[in-house]
A and B are shown apart, each in its own frame.
Chain A
Amino acid sequence: AQSVTQPDIHITVSEGASLELRCNYSYGATPYLFWYVQSPGQGLQLLLKYFSGDTLVQGIKGFEAEFKRSQSSFNLRKPSVHWSDAAEYFCAVGPRSNDYKLSFGAGTTVTVRA
């Protein structure tokens, strides 16, 4: 069965500092990989996705993620965080077909301190 693990429940980072959120997955074959962000009272917004090709993926809001097949990981990074990046972040996986059925990790809450 597929599963997604986000080891860090809560991360606190200073504004302007770098951020890295970890994601590991267990899946029968290399899935499609996604990172979503959820702000209070908002729905999930897609930050970036990996289907194939270059293992370093660029997304919106200055985020990037790197797929490492050998480690079954898809970690999210941002070089310099802004106060508006405070939110909950979810890693998700889906099968390599157009069915949009996603499995999500439990999420990582990011707090940004001034």
Chain B
Amino acid sequence: DAGVTQSPTHLIKTRGQQVTLRCSPKSGHDTVSWYQQALGQGPQFIFQYYEEEERQRGNFPDRFSGHQFPNYSSELNVNALLLGDSALYLCASAVLADSYNEQFFGPGTRLTVL
């Protein structure tokens, strides 16, 4: 089992561009959450997907959007990139019905906005 995988590992963009990050959940998991971790900070919850729908959302602007596919993989899209969007983006997966059994995190995608 590969666990949670994310691609790409690193990404460099310029202000105003758009970016798509990808996440494959751990086998058997049906829920994917995305977190933003700025340098020196703890992860901040962006949103969560279940059954291809956004189930919960944190305090992030509409520039951040996502998608979940029938195979449970997920994408995070960020439009009109700002310098402040530079961060490590973490994906986490779990089985929703397991009620916090364990949420597994991927290694993250490091996004740099110039």
Which residues of A come within 8 Å of B, CB atoms? 4, 32, 36, 41-46, 49, 51, 90, 92, 94, 97-107
Closest residue of chain B to A41 (Cβ to Cβ) is: B107
A7 to chain B, nearest CB (A): 14
Chain B residues with Cβ below 8 Å from A99 are 48, 55-56
Cβ of B97 and Cβ of A98 under 8 Å apart? yes
Cβ of B48 and Cβ of A90 under 8 Å apart? no
Chain A residues with Cβ below 8 Å from B41 are 106-107
Given contacts A43-B4, A44-B90, A49-B100, is CB(A101)–CB(B105) below 8 Å? no
Kindly state the separation between the CA atoms of A41 and B10 in the bound complex, as whole angstroms.
11
Chain A residues with Cβ below 8 Å from B25 are none
- Give the total number of A-B pairs whose CB atoms are below 8 A apart: 63
Interface string of B31-49 (1 = CB under 8 A from A): 1010100001111110010
Which residues of B come within 8 Å of A, CB atoms? 4, 31, 33, 35, 40-45, 48, 55-56, 58, 90, 92, 94, 96-100, 102-108
Q: Which residue in B43, B48, B96, B103 is a CB contact (below 8 Å) of A46?
A: B103
Chain A residues with Cβ below 8 Å from B108 are 43
Chain A residues with Cβ below 8 Å from B102 are 46
A98 to chain B, nearest CB (A): 4
B23 to chain A, nearest CB (A): 11
Given contacts A98-B98, A98-B99, is CB(A90)–CB(B42) below 8 Å? yes
Kindly state the separation between the CA atoms of A103 and B99 in the bound complex, as whole angstroms.
16
Chain B residues with Cβ below 8 Å from A41 are 107
Q: Which 4 A-B residue pairings sit nearest by Cβ, starting from the closest?
A: A104-B42, A43-B105, A98-B99, A44-B105
List 9 extra interface pairs beyond A44-B92, A99-B55, A106-B41, CB under 8 A.
Answer: A4-B42, A43-B107, A98-B96, A100-B94, A102-B35, A102-B45, A102-B103, A104-B35, A104-B42
Chain B residues with Cβ below 8 Å from A104 are 35, 42-44
